[in-house]
Amino acid sequence: MRSRTSLSKTSPSPTLSDDDQHHLARVLRVRDGEAVSASDGRGGWRMCQWRDGELHATSDAQHVAAALPRLAVAFVPVKGDRPEWAVQKLTEVGIDDIIVLAPTRRAVVRWGDAASPDENKHMQKLTKVAREAAMQSRRVWLPMISGPASLAEVCARPGAAVADPTGEPLTTGPLNAGTRDSADPLATRSPSADMSLIIIGPEGGFDDDEISASTRRVSLGDTILRAETATLVAATLLADLRYRKRGLT
C-alpha cells in the first residue's frame, strides 16, 4: 500500500481539481483501494482511499502547525527552465516564501519589464511547479510564490540578507535562536523573530549601488555558485539551521 499526497480540501469528502484527478488516475495510475494522503496545502490533511476515481476519507482531519521561523528565498530569474528547477527544489527543501525579483541591472531575463508580456504566465508556471513539488515531497503547507518584487522593497523586509561571497558565514545569522548563549552560532541576533530571507542575485551578482550599505550580507561558502545553485544552497542552509534550532529550544 502506497501513500500519495494530493492537495484537496480536507472536507468529509475531499475534492480534487481536474489536474490532480488526472495526475492520480492517468499519471500515477492509482488503483482502487489504494491509500492516498490528501492535504489542503494549509496544514490540514487526512488519509483517504481511492475508489472509482474519487477520494473517500478514511481518517479524521489532522492539522500540522506551520514551521517557525518562516524561511524565504528571493531570486532573479535566469534563462531556460532554471527558475522552475529552483522553485521545485526550494519547495522540496521546505522554504515557506519564494520571491521572484524584478529585473536588476545585470539580469538577462526581464520578468516584470513592460517588454515581458508573459510575466503572469511565468508566475502561474512557478505556482504549478511548487504545487507539484509539494505533493511529491508530502508537504502539507504550500509555499507562497510572489513577485516580481523590487530589490529595494525585498531588501527592506525584516530579516533580509543578500548572498555575497564577502559576507559573514550563514551559520552566524540571520536566524534568531532565542535565548541560547551568544557563543552558540545559532543564537545570534535577527531583526525578525519569525522569518529569515536570503536574496540571490543574477549571474554576475548585484552592482554595489543596487544594495543599501545597511543590508546584511551572508556567505554561502568558499566557491562562486551559479544563481540557481545558490538558491538551493541558501535554502538548504536555512532549513538546516531551523531544524537544529528546534533541538536548542
**Range 70-246: architecture per CATH:** 3-Layer(aba) Sandwich (3.40)
Residuewise pLDDT in 10s, the chain (249 residues): 556 677 776 666 688 888 888 888 888 889 999 999 999 999 999 999 999 888 999 999 999 999 988 999 999 998 889 999 999 999 999 999 999 998 887 777 767 665 555 678 889 999 999 999 998 899 999 999 999 999 999 999 988 999 999 898 876 444 444 444 444 444 444 433 445 899 999 988 898 889 887 888 999 999 999 999 999 999 999 998 888 877 655
pTM: 0.83
Classify each residue of 20-57 as buried b or exposed e, where b means 16 or more C-beta atoms within 10 Å of its C-beta.
Answer: bbebbeeebebeeebebbbbbbebbbbbbbbeeeebeb
* Predicted pLDDT at 90: 98
Q: Kindly write down the DSSP assignment for every residue of 188-225, as one continuous string.
A: B--S-SSEEEEEE--TT---GGGS-TTSEEEE--SSPP
Please report the pLDDT score of residue 243 as a whole number: 86
Q: What is d(CA 31, CA 14) in angstroms, rounded to the nearest whole number?
A: 17
Sequential DSSP letters for 27-61: IS-PPTT-EEEEE-SBSEEEEEEEETTEEEE-S--
CATH topology of domain 4-63: Ribosomal Protein L25; Chain P (2.40.240)
Going from N- to C-terminal start, the domains of the chain cover 4-63, 70-246
Give the per-residue pLDDT at 178.
Answer: 43
Do 4-63 and 70-246 fold alike per CATH? no
Residue whose cell numbers read 519569525? 194
